[in-house]
């Protein structure tokens, strides 16, 4: 898919993971090591997409998710700090929703830190709802995680 303002969204190849890891390191205080991304590419249920403004260039945003039965679970999403507030994450998630509908998924799910205001604003705007709290989910600082869900294909929000 090509979006005039954001660039092309496509699957990321193994040879392009260093660009993903650069974004990861610039985006999180405790970035995932590169080998985790490599491992993800080997799983049949895992998908890693990037936004590429120029063919042959590095990605400027990425989205990692799992397709598990009727659920699409978002594991990681980040935009390079130099490219934020240009609707790149919004475009990735819109494309993900299209794909989720296409494969018949009933839920988009994710976990987010309650302190992550930009991400909470983004997910709230896209229709995700908080459905639960996972206490002390993040090992770096013991922060809780908020579990968020966006129902699809006529599904209802799971009971809390």
Residue from 71, 99, 111, 129 carrying the catalytic annotation: 111
The most distant pair of C-alpha atoms in the chain lies apart, rounded to whole Å, by 46
* Cα 79 from Cα 94, distance rounded (Å): 15
Among 119, 146, 149, 152, binds ligand COA (CB under 6 A): 119
The question of whether 107 is a catalytic residue gets the answer no
Label residue 120 exposed, middle or buried (CB < 10 Å: 0-12, 13-18, 19+): middle
State yes or no: residue 64 binds ligand COA (CB under 6 A): no
Could you tell me which of 130, 80, 126, 89 has the C-alpha nearest to residue 110?
A: 130
Helices 34-42 + 17-27 axis angle, to 10: 130
Q: Nearest approach, Cβ of 155 to ligand COA (angstroms)?
A: 22
* Residue whose CB is less far from ligand COA, 17 or 61: 61
The question of whether 111 is a catalytic residue gets the answer yes
State yes or no: residue 17 binds ligand COA (CB under 6 A): no
Among 12, 72, 96, 112, binds ligand COA (CB under 6 A): 112
Among 85, 135, 142, 154, binds ligand COA (CB under 6 A): 85
Please report which residue ranges of 28-150 form alpha helices under DSSP H.
Answer: 34-42, 88-102, 117-125
What's the CA angle centered on 18, arms 142 and 41, to 5 degrees? 75
Size of the residue set binding ligand COA (CB under 6 A): 20
Among 3, 34, 67, 122, binds ligand COA (CB under 6 A): 122
Catalytic residue positions? 111, 123
Q: Residues in the site for ligand COA, rule: CB under 6 A? A: 27-28, 61, 77-79, 84-90, 112, 116, 118-119, 121-122, 125
């Amino acid at each position: 898919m090509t979006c005039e303002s954001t660039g092309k969204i496509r699957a990321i190849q193994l040879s392009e993971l260093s660009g993903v890891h650069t974004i990861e390191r610039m985006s999180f205080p405790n970035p995932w090591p590169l080998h985790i991304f490599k491992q993800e590419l080997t799983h049949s249920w895992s998908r890693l997409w990037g936004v590429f403004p120029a063919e042959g260039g590095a990605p400027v945003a990425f989205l990692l998710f799992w397709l598990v039965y009727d659920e699409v679970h978002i594991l990681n999403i980040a935009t390079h700090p130099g490219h934020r507030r240009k609707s790149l994450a919004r475009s990735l998630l819109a494309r993900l929703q299209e794909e989720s509908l296409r494969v018949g998924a009933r839920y988009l799910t994710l976990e987010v830190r309650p302190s992550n205001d930009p991400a909470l604003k983004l997910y709230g705007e896209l229709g995700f709802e908080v459905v639960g709290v996972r206490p002390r989910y993040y090992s770096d600082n013991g922060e809780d995680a908020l579990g968020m869900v966006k129902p699809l294909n006529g599904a209802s929000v799971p009971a809390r």
